[in-house]
Amino acid sequence: FNMLITDSISTLPFVGPNYEKKLEKLGILTISDLLHHIPHRYLDFSKITKISDLKIGEVVTTIGTITFLRNQPTKSGRLMQIGQIEDDTGKISVAWFSQPFLTRMLFPGTKIAVSGELSWFNKNPAFFSPQYEKIDDNHETVHTGKIVGVYPATSGLSSKWLKARIKYVLDRIEIENKLDDSALKTNKLLAFSKAIRKIHFPENMDDTVKARERLAFNEFVDLLTKTKERKKKLIKKKGISLKIDDSNIKNFINNLDFKLTNSQDKVIDEIVEDLSKKTPMNRLLQGDVGSGKTIVSAIAAYATYLNGYQTIFLAPTQILANQHYESLTSLFPNLSISLVTANSKLITNSNIIIGTHALLTKTFEKVGLLVIDEQHKFGVKQINFLQKTNPHVLTMTATPIPRTIAQTLFSDMDLSVIDELPKNRQKIKTWLVPNEKRDNAYEWIKKQVSDYKSQVFIICPLVEESESETLKDVKSVKKEFASLQTIFKNLRLGLLHGKLKEKEKNEVLNKFKNGELDILVSTPVVEVGIDIPNATMMIIEGSDRFGLAQLHQLRGRVGRGTKESYCLLFTENDSMKATNRLTALTKTSSGFELAELDLKLRGAGDILGTKQSGFGNLKIADWSDTKLIKLASEAVANL
Ligand code: ADP
Ligand code: MG
């Protein structure tokens, strides 16, 4: 055989165009992808028991011969398959549901293995819907009689089918060792080929742990190698070395109506130094919501302008692009600044050009700096910005990315962190409100609105009434809006969600901004960047469904002015776990601390927004495994 790990999946028997499409949906295109599609849990069927030794409630495998198997209709009109197997010690009943084809496969005399838990059926001990497998004396079992991996089920691809394909491949392929030198040197890691075999067909539970560890190591190494290569390419590029006009920049800073924080000063120094270098800057600026990242990027844009180059500002949404436009025009009344919308004609010679990712496909004459705001909202794709020049790139995010993750995922970038808030900021008082106090909370809000003319955000997790059971207790924003209108019948309410047209979104937001609405009911689309200083209260419904970092960013929409601000967390989930997580939010106002905590409690998905964007998505490894990340970076450094 000469099957290669890089071969297309379509070279396998039983994988026609139909299955190929289904596999593609799982991201499986090659044999290697298939082998890296690993079980998400394991069933231990390794205990093989004679029929006379079976005990109710035990999960075991029994091997015997079919004595009979027949279809029998149930009261509801479905078919059950009822039968019996025997070995040299006794007989036991077996039963399946709605699998009539079984009677055409498992004839009397067929030798099979069944795995599962022995329970009761028709007052007799029985295997109910067990895993089964025909036994042929020359072949070992795949689905029974051992520890059996269960693969994430996806439409039309059963775990059993996947396992059979993987088994087919493993029986034929020779797996070349990958990265074994470095992995084995760092000791205790399994060899790669062994790990691939054991992750699918472990002999014991310890195998599954060791195999996963080894494959996770490779995944980190791959990731790090990719970023290292990107960095190498970047260093070779010839960028634009800007002359830094110190006095002009100082002047600009001194004329601001606030004093920059020490943190802002520090990151501005780092950025300005980058701008003066010959290699293009590639820097990630992290800073909590409200830490003042915009002014930092504005100063970089100013330095760029003073050298006769353009700055492109990318925002994740049109709303935020509009807001940047307002801030920048008021900071730089004398510069030509243009806002690009879906309808506007592109002005290519402005000093600063602001827009959404649609700008990425355009080329401009003299771009010196590209600022990307809230990068994680753009998703996985590497930003490919085709320009005549090699501009400096400043990426900004309010997502508090834990250091270990940042250093792995973004090791081709330099990191700058703003780790303090402007002095005048107040803590946002955050409460976890028990359901029985909901009415009191509503009354309190009414009073705040009428006494202080304060404004309120009410955030709901989803737009449409969801059909899925796990989401059934989530209030849909539309339904919630209708009921809130009766609760707050003397107040003015607006509704904002992602399915509204751009124009409608802007209308609602502008009304809220201008004080024509008291309450804005919204999905998490208000999450990033929106600046409405008079909004001082936020209610978050279904708050347990959000990651802590995301909740923290959400509540950052209030507390932007000088008034005392509040965030009220509602949830129907009163489990200890949810309560503990949410309580952390009431006690901590550091986005980084919350992100670290979420990393421990829920994994990295919530922090990085993996679910939406696939950003930072790991297949096998886990971001919380800092030890392995360290091993992998050492290995890459030695490559
Ligand atoms: P973010 O980092 O979340 O993007 P912004 O840049 O929008 O935050 O800043 C939030 C608000 O804080 C803006 O109104 C901005 O003008 C103001 N701001 C920025 N830096 C300072 C500072 N050093 N002192 C006081 N206010 C500041
Ligand atoms: Mg911002």
Query: What digits encode the pLDDT tens for the residues 28-56?
Result: 999 999 999 999 889 888 888 999 999 99
Predicted local distance difference test score (pLDDT) of residue 379: 46
Separation of CA 294 and ligand 1 centre (Å): 7
Identify the burial level of 436 via C-beta atoms within 10 angstroms of its C-beta, where 0-12 means exposed, 13-18 middle and 19 or more buried: exposed
Instruction: Looking at the CA of 418, name the nearest ligand.
Output: 1
**Residues with a CB atom less than 6 Å from ligand 1:** 258, 260-261, 264, 287, 289-295, 398, 422, 531
Q: Atom 9 of ligand 1 has which residue's CA nearest to it?
A: 292
* pTM of the shown model: 0.72
Q: Which ligand is nearest to the CA of 529?
A: 2
Closest Cα to atom 19 of ligand 1? 292
d(CA 368, ligand 2 centre) in Å: 21
- Shortest-distance atom of ligand 1 to CA 533: 14
Tell me, in angstroms, the distance from the centre of ligand 2 to residue 169's CA. Answer: 50
C-alpha of residue 554 to centroid of ligand 1, in Å: 16
The pLDDT value given to residue 310: 95
pLDDT for position 146: 82
Q: Looking at per-residue confidence, does 605 or 632 come out higher?
A: 632
d(CA 420, ligand 1 centre) in Å: 11
For 239-248, 319-328, 522-531, 538-547, which range has the lowest pLDDT when averaged over its residues?
522-531
Judged against a pLDDT cut of 60, whether residue 57 lies above it is answered with yes
Cα 537 to ligand 2 centroid, rounded to whole Å: 20
Query: How do 310-314 and 131-134 pair as beta strands?
Result: unpaired
* Residue whose C-alpha is closest to residue 303's, from 340, 352, 254: 352
pLDDT at residue 229 in the model: 86
Whether residue 460 is predicted with pLDDT greater than 50 in this model: the reply is yes
For the residues 553-566, what does the mean pLDDT come to?
85
Looking at 52-66, 71-85, 135-149, 532-546, which range is the least confident one? 135-149
In 490-543, which ranges are continuous DSSP H helix?
Answer: 502-513
Provide the pLDDT for residue 636: 85
Among the ranges given (81-85, 275-279, 307-311, 633-637), the one the predictor scored with the smallest mean pLDDT: 633-637
Ligand 1 atom 5, closest CA: 292
Tokens of 456: 């309120």
Q: Which ligand is nearest to the CA of 290?
A: 1
**Contact, 205 vs 198, CB < 8 A?**
no
Per-residue 3-state assignment (H helix, E strand, C coil) for 311-344: EEEECCCHHHHHHHHHHHHHHCCCCCEEECCCCC
Identify the weakest region by mean pLDDT among 414-418, 600-604, 619-623, 634-638: 600-604
User: Residue 588 has which token pair?
Assistant: 């901590």
Ligand nearest to the Cα of 294, by number? 1
Interval between CA 490 and ligand 1 midpoint (Å): 34
For residue 247, the model assigns a pLDDT of 95
Which is the closest atom of ligand 1 to the Cα of 295?
A: 6
Least confident interval from 7-11, 339-343, 548-552: 339-343
What is the SS3 assignment for 73? strand
Choice among 126-130, 509-513, 624-628 with the minimum mean pLDDT? 624-628
Ligand 1 mean position, distance from CA 424 (Å): 11
Name the residue at shortest CA distance from atom 18 of ligand 1.
Answer: 292
What average pLDDT is seen over the chain? 86
Q: Which of 433, 429, 298, 447 is nearest to 373 (CA)?
A: 298
Task: Using pLDDT thresholds of 50, 70 and 90, give the confidence band for residue 376.
Answer: low
Three-state SS for 192? helix
Residue type, 536: T
Closest ligand 1 atom, residue 293 Cα? 2
Look at residue 620 and tell me whether its pLDDT is greater than 70.
yes
Q: By mean pLDDT, which of 149-153, 299-303, 374-378, 476-480 is the weakest?
A: 374-378
Determine the pLDDT at residue 338: 93
Q: From the CA of 294, how far away is ligand 2's center (Å)? A: 6
**pLDDT of 169 above 70:** yes
Pocket-testing residue among 258, 395, 530, ligand 1, by greatest number of atoms within 8 A of Cβ: 258
Mutate which of 295, 324, 397 to test ligand 1's pocket (most atoms within 8 Å of Cβ)?
Answer: 295
Residue scoring higher pLDDT (604 or 52): 52
Which of 103, 148, 95, 97 lies closest to 122, judged by CA?
95
Asked if residue 437 has pLDDT above 60, the reply is yes
Q: Which ligand is nearest to the CA of 256?
A: 1
The model's confidence at residue 112, banded by pLDDT at 50, 70 and 90, is very high
Average pLDDT of 522-540?
79
Mean pLDDT of 530-552: 87
